[in-house]
C-alpha cells in the first residue's frame, strides 16, 4: 500500500469538491428530473506558494508583519500573521490558478507596505522573496 502526503490546500479543495458532488443530487426540479442540468465544477490545481520575508541584511523576518494574499481574478483573499516561521509563509491553501497580489505590512510602522505580484500556474510551485527595508530580523 502506497501512502501519499496531502497538503492543507489539496485537502480543502477535496472537501469543497465532495461538498459540491453531494449537493449535485439536490438540484433537480420538483419531479426529481435533472434533464438539461449539465453543470460541472472544476477545481484549479495551482502549485504551492511560498513567501520568504527578509530585511535588507538578508535576515528572516517572522514577527511584526501581516501578509495579505489576494487573487486579482477571483473573489479571494487571505491574511496571515502567526503562520510565518523562520521568515517563511508556506501552505497558504490557495485553490485558484492565476495572478495574486502579495502585500506585506508592518504592525509597528518599521517599514512601508510592500507589494509583489505572482502568477500561479497548474502544479507549478512558486517562491517569492520580499525584502522589507527597515524591518527587524528574527533574533
pTM recorded for the entire structure: 0.68
What integer pLDDT is reported at residue 5 of this predicted model?
Answer: 42
- Give the per-residue pLDDT at 46: 84
Q: Looking at the chain, which residues constitute the CATH 2.60.40.1120 domain(s)?
A: 49-132
Distance CA 29, CA 16 (A): 24
pLDDT given for residue 87 in this prediction: 96
Predicted pLDDT at 138: 93
Question: How would you label 85-112 residue by residue, b for 16+ Cβ within 10 Å and e otherwise?
Answer: eebbbeebebbbbbebebbbbbeeeebe
Contacts within 8 Å (CB) and 24+ apart, 83-89: 84/53, 86/60, 86/62, 86/138, 87/52, 87/53, 87/54, 87/59, 87/60, 87/61, 87/62, 87/137, 87/138, 88/50, 88/51, 88/52, 88/53, 88/60, 89/50, 89/51, 89/52, 89/53
pLDDT at 34: 52
49-132 folds as Immunoglobulin-like (2.60.40)
What's the Cα-to-Cα distance from 31 to each of 8, 20, 28, 138, rounded to whole Å?
A: 39, 21, 7, 63
Return per-residue pLDDT of the chain as tens, 139 residues: 443 444 555 545 545 544 444 445 445 555 555 555 555 556 677 888 999 999 999 999 999 999 999 999 999 899 999 999 999 998 777 888 999 999 999 999 999 999 999 999 888 899 999 999 999 999 7
How confident is the model at residue 50, as a pLDDT? 93
Amino acid at each position: 500500500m502506497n501512502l501519499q502526503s496531502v497538503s492543507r490546500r489539496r485537502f480543502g479543495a477535496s472537501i469543497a469538491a465532495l461538498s459540491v458532488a453531494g449537493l449535485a443530487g439536490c438540484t433537480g426540479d420538483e419531479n426529481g428530473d435533472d434533464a438539461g442540468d449539465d453543470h460541472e465544477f472544476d477545481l484549479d490545481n495551482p502549485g504551492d506558494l511560498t513567501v520568504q520575508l527578509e530585511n535588507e541584511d538578508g535576515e528572516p523576518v517572522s514577527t511584526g508583519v501581516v501578509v495579505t494574499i489576494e487573487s486579482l481574478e477571483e473573489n479571494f483573499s487571505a491574511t496571515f500573521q502567526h503562520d510565518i516561521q523562520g521568515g517563511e509563509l508556506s501552505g497558504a491553501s490557495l485553490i485558484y490558478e492565476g495572478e495574486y497580489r502579495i502585500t506585506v505590512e508592518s504592525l509597528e510602522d518599521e517599514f512601508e507596505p510592500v507589494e509583489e505580484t505572482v502568477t500561479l500556474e497548474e502544479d507549478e510551485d512558486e517562491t517569492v522573496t520580499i525584502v522589507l527595508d527597515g524591518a527587524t530580523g528574527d533574533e
